[in-house]
Structure 1
Amino acid sequence: MKAFKAPNSTLGNLNAEAAATLIAAAADVSLILDEVGVIRDMAFHSDDLARELEGATSWIGRRWGETVTAESRAKVDSALRDAVARATPRWRHINHAAPSGEPVPILYSVVWTGTEGQPGRVVAFGRDLRAISNLQQRLVDAQQAMERDYSRLRHAEMRYRLLFELSSEAVMIVDALSQRVTEANPAARELFGETAKRLPGRGFGELFDAESGPLVRELLSGVRASGRADEMQARLGEQDRDVLVRASLFRQESSAFFLIRLVLVAEEAETPQSRSRARLLTLVEHAPDGFVVTSPDGRVLAANAAFLDMAQLATEDRARGEPLERWLGRPGIETEVLLANLRQHGSVRLFATHLRGEYGADSEVEVSAIAVPNGGSTCYGFAIRNISHRLADTKPGRELPRSVEQLTELVGRVSLKDLVRETTDVIERLCIEAALEMTNDNRASAAEMLGLSRQSLYSKLRRYGLGELDAESGNEE
């Protein structure tokens, strides 16, 4: 410790009060002790620390070592011995026992203040270490949490690495930017007849023949742009075998990679998944609802028997290549709306329109559609359900909608005058049915409830075909 050079001239004659003020201001907690370590006086500069050590007022008259935790008593004894021996003071970390049960860490420096031939005093200057201790504890907790996370990551990486290496399916990791192979499992190396050192680093498109290579590179570019998984069939270059290439995109830190799965076409045809797909196609072909697959411009690629029946077509060849709007919706309006929604959202549900047959049949239908990637391009699937049977007849040749949704679906197909008349008929019929139900089919009471004469009620019953009118009611009319 390097002391003041001329304390007598620079500090002057300090009295006890001035010395006490200096000591209290110099530390968060200050203790005045005698030579044997009994606390004679104390001061707190930090109010928060005084509240934490709530029982500190009872320290006066007790030994300093009795106020600290068991592991700090040896440090207290050592600090007192050094102070009495006039040794150079050094800082010691000492924990005080607090009423809350949690130890309060204080950093103490102990100094002898006596003069030769007179009894002296020992002053302990303490700095509050709670903030630093909390930071250290948080650091330890963070380090332990990181260790646990790293351990979980290592275990997860080990499991996925085992799956990657033991998979019977050929799997490769390809860099999305350069389209070069970064990793390949043993099944992939066996498929290409390459060693573990030769395959990584090669361009993925180079592994296929001259015709398939550009198409595979185009597939990967499309997957990277859209973020959607896609697949296509390609031919290996040296092995001269057809494989199904399935690519999906994933990100790792700031880089993007493709997860490539390769399946021999001959093996694909024999897998349970392919058999399930074949059964699904059979079910779609024989489904009671119409199903149509179109190209992005709306031209029919395939159609099932139910759609051919609704469109009054003898064979699928007559539909293939034709625009779907030839039969579905109003030409140039509704089909374009469907296609625009598919391009933007990828799916459409319960779109109400009508379907025209080749020989004049007209059916109310609901359409649900979805866009599906297919080998670098996109095709659209349309499920078409005939809902004409849901609409009840009110007059010969006319259909009476039963709900607000069905009425609004007629906007643009019929005039406003006819639509208002249809709406009035719906409300009138529903009110008459409700009145008859409430009066237990007592027509006189129902007419009174509705504010109608019995003759008017019978007329409306006959108009809507509600109930059976006897001879008496006919005469009253």
Structure 2
Amino acid sequence: MPPRKLSIDDKVPFAEPGKNLRPLDVPMAAKLAMIAGDVVLVLDDSGRIVDYTADPRDYPDAAQWLGREWLDTVSIESRAKVMEMLANARKGVTQHWREVNQLGSESDVPMRFIVLSLGPGAGSLALGRDLREAAALQQRLLQAQQSLERDYLRLRQLETRYRMLLEQSPEPVLIIDADGFRVREANNAAHDAFRSRPGALQGTKFPAHFAKPARDQVIAFLGSAMVSHGLQPIEVEPVEGSEALKLSASGFRERGNQYMMVRLSRVSRATEQGANATIRVIEVMPDAFVLTDARMIIREANAAFVELVAAASGDQLRGRPLSDFVGRPGIDLDLIDSQLAKHDTARNVATVVGARDGFDGEPVELSAVRTGDEQVCYGFVIRPIGRRLRDLPPTSDTPRSVEQLTELVGRMSLRDIVRESTDLIERLCIEAALEYTSNNRASAAEILGLSRQSLYSKLHRYGLANPLDADD
């Protein structure tokens, strides 16, 4: 759209102004002037304001302009324009709109003025239009343009970082469209994986880079990856090279189109075979094996553990606390956890499996290990020892050695152990219990089948109490 003309140049004049505009009188001319400008100043030959019209709500300082030189009511940079307009009005030169800043008590008011001569010696008329709305619109336009430039710069920076990450990544990564599976982008590692020269993968069909028997599998996997998440990577054979690749993919949308990010990794046959062999050995080993997280929630269990706890399958155990199956509530696993936190291992800990109300559980021997720093895991090996306990001498006989006596601690109550025993045996049992629980007297009392008060009494009796306990 061409710019709007702000002067009477090149405009078609009235054909018969004397005839058609003759009814115009002074009141009508005043109305036309008030309509033509937001501010109208009546100036004498010297440029002094002798009259004006303006809305006092929009121009509260207009009354102060009356009687002053127009030059004194404008900003310093606008005075040259005012002087030029007044001079041209006296000479009868055709005027043009000029931008002038009228002074105000709070801020300057940007305006556009044109000066019309009223005749020789009659002064002139200055018609002004307010530019504040236009200035605000220009300011918003400038802010929007600056915002777009900042967003463009930010996008350029993000694109630069994305390109750098993509190219520096040692893992082969490709971006393909979801419609025809054509490669849009591929990093250097992807070109190396397919033994292609740089830039040769763009525009090619991704499945074509794999062996013919694997192409249908690749297409089916990519289709599934667009509608579901968490798919396990598949192993496929590329056309070039003998090393197999693991393929994983995830879909995303951009500007209304669907794309996929494909990641590739090389498969190490030796590592894979070793890992599979380890898994098979753990699965068939005669001792029960359990893998838990840091909260001792079961993640994996072999067949021996499933049989030991009389479960239907390993899936039935996953996600359940190990304490539901192993140990006496609040004793064994807490002690094992504290020992693992200190030493990362626990060896040959006597505990039970399947303890419930009315059933003491089957005695077992447990060893555990703690692995990982950021993601802690616990591994447990559990071995039933019920047959070994049945081979021990009857408890009614006096133990023949300290080792034989301490093996019974934690497997039966203190009352059964010392029924036919002497005070010496009772003291040895208490010492063994304190050592077993790392001097945790509450747990020792629970293991020995005593109340805390009874244990404290026996500790004082045998001189095993801390001198500070006398205050308690």
Q: Secondary structure at the match of 2:149?
A: helix
**Inter-CA distance 227–138: structure 2 relative to 1 (3 Å threshold):** farther
Task: Work out the CA distance in 2 between the residues paired with 1:235 and 1:3.
Answer: 85
Task: Work out the CA distance in 1 between the residues paired with 2:289 and 2:172.
Answer: 31
Task: Work out the CA distance in 2 between the residues paired with 1:122 and 1:284.
Answer: 105
Structure 1 residue 140: deviation in Å? 0.6
- Is the aligned partner of 1:40 residue 2:50? yes
**Inter-CA distance 145–186: structure 2 relative to 1 (3 Å threshold):** same
Task: Work out the CA distance in 2 between the residues paired with 1:180 and 1:33.
Answer: 76
Q: Secondary structure at the match of 1:189?
A: helix
The one-letter code sitting in structure 1 at the alignment partner of 2:223 is S
The one-letter code sitting in structure 1 at the alignment partner of 2:117 is W
Structure 1 residue 250: deviation in Å? 2.3
Spell out, residue by residue over 1:227-251, the C-alpha distance to the aligned partner (whole angstroms, 9 max, x if none).
5565222122221211111212222
Aligned residue runs from structure 1 range 213-232, under 5 A: 213-226=215-228, 231-232=233-234
2:309 maps to 310
Task: Work out the CA distance in 1 between the residues paired with 2:226 and 2:33.
Answer: 70
Any conservation in 2 of the 1:290–1:306 contact (CA below 8 Å)? no
Spell out, residue by residue over 1:284-340, the C-alpha distance to the aligned partner (whole angstroms, 9 max, x if none).
943365557xxxxxxxxx856554433357xxxxx48xxx7xx79xxxxxxxxxxxx
Task: Work out the CA distance in 2 between the residues paired with 1:267 and 1:71.
Answer: 82
Q: TM-score, normalised by structure 2?
A: 0.58
Structure 1 residue 203: deviation in Å? 1.5
Q: Decide which structure has the larger Cα Rg and report it.
A: 2
**Inter-CA distance 18–203: structure 2 relative to 1 (3 Å threshold):** closer
Q: Secondary structure at the match of 1:107?
A: strand
Task: Work out the CA distance in 2 between the residues paired with 1:77 and 1:235.
Answer: 86
Aligned residue runs from structure 1 range 70-109, under 5 A: 70-101=76-107, 103-109=108-114
1:131 maps to 133
Q: Secondary structure at the match of 2:251?
A: strand
* Matched positions, count: 308
Task: Work out the CA distance in 2 between the residues paired with 1:235 and 1:249.
Answer: 22
Structure 1 residue 109: deviation in Å? 1.6
Q: Secondary structure at the match of 2:201?
A: coil
Structure 1 residue 26: deviation in Å? 2.0
Any conservation in 2 of the 1:223–1:229 contact (CA below 8 Å)? yes
Structure 1 residue 7: deviation in Å? 3.2
1:440 maps to none
Give % identity: 34
- Is the aligned partner of 1:112 residue 2:87? no
Aligned residue runs from structure 1 range 14-33, under 5 A: 14-33=24-43
Structure 1 residue 177: deviation in Å? 1.2
Runs of 4+ that moved beyond 6 A: 281-284, 348-351
Q: CA RMSD in A?
A: 3.7
Structure 1 residue 18: deviation in Å? 3.1
Structure 1 residue 213: deviation in Å? 1.7
Aligned residue runs from structure 1 range 390-401, under 5 A: none
Any conservation in 2 of the 1:28–1:128 contact (CA below 8 Å)? yes
Where does the alignment leave 5 or more consecutive residues of structure 1 unmatched? Answer: 293-301, 314-318, 329-347, 356-387, 398-477
**Inter-CA distance 269–256: structure 2 relative to 1 (3 Å threshold):** farther
Spell out, residue by residue over 1:229-274, the C-alpha distance to the aligned partner (whole angstroms, 9 max, x if none).
652221222212111112122222222221111110129959xxx9
Task: Work out the CA distance in 2 between the residues paired with 1:108 and 1:122.
Answer: 12
- Is the aligned partner of 1:147 residue 2:153? no
Q: TM-score, normalised by structure 1?
A: 0.57
**Inter-CA distance 240–350: structure 2 relative to 1 (3 Å threshold):** closer
The one-letter code sitting in structure 2 at the alignment partner of 1:237 is V
Aligned residue runs from structure 1 range 224-263, under 5 A: 224-226=226-228, 231-263=233-265
Q: Secondary structure at the match of 1:73?
A: helix
